[in-house]
Structure 1
Amino acid sequence: MTTTSESHEPGRLLYDPATDRVGEYRDRAGPYVMLRPVGGGAEWQADPEKVRPATDRERIGAGVRAVNQRARGVPSLPPPLDEASRPPRPVPGCAACLELAERREAARVAYDRSAETDANVLLRQHQRTEHRA
């Protein structure tokens, strides 16, 4: 099925049989129409005599592919921290807790994750033995 360029409106989804893809009509470039993938990406040229309006199924499929591709590109968020995985808080007024918390902060600033973890372990051990409620 062929269509004339008069039926092409910016944003309209068209099927390009040459690439077997659905694209959003952007504009004309010389003898071609410019299509952009659903969800964004590099435009491509298509023969205006070959493209046709996308069917409902093709539009939905292109939308699903765009959402899946976007989801793969976004880093997943870390799981929420539970109380056991949160850094321990120093007990107010305790010099040992304060010293270990300062050691942890210095390690964090230096991007020394090993020393930061060590300080957390020592702070937890100190709190278990000295501040047991």
Structure 2
Amino acid sequence: MEPGALLYDPATNKVGEYQDKSGPYALLRPVGGGREWQADPGSLRPATDQERLSAGVRAANSRARTDAPFLVLDAPRADAGCATCAELSELRSTARAERDHSAETDTNVLLRKHRSEAHPA
């Protein structure tokens, strides 16, 4: 077994990346990183194309939920009585209702910029 090979472990029903041997066990790490586990080398087999793809998608989905670009920052508040703040806040609410995360982010950027220029602390 070569380090980096993707193997299926029937005991855990998971695909792992072969790392090394530890005594009588093979050490596998989840695709995309994570905590290693020990597996019986006699029960391991090369992962099928479908298993490899599923493991890769699972890793990508995990990254999408946890990587910094996808973290949500606190939304800037609109100043009461400011028409521009109210307009941007309404645009943001519409984007949220439509689940348009890109437009929501854009309005947050515009509102932060407006607040820093028109309402300095």
Corresponding residue of 1:13 = 6
Corresponding residue of 1:89 = 117
> Are positions 1:79 and 2:105 aligned together?
yes
Corresponding residue of 1:39 = 32
- Select the structure that is richer in helix: 2
Identity %: 56
User: What does 1:44-123 align with in structure 2 at a 5 Å threshold?
Assistant: 44-74=37-67, 75-76=71-72, 79-81=105-107, 85=111, 86-87=114-115, 89=117, 101=120, 104=121
> Structure 2: 5+ residue runs without aligned partners?
74-103
Distance 1:32 1:80 in 2: 51
Larger of the two Rg values belongs to structure: 1
TM superposition score normalised by structure 1 = 0.58
Supply the AA of the counterpart residue of 1:59.
R
CA-atom RMSD in angstroms: 2.2
TM superposition score normalised by structure 2 = 0.63
> Structure 1: 5+ residue runs without aligned partners?
1-7, 91-99, 105-133
Distance 1:45 1:83 in 2: 47
> Are positions 1:22 and 2:15 aligned together?
yes
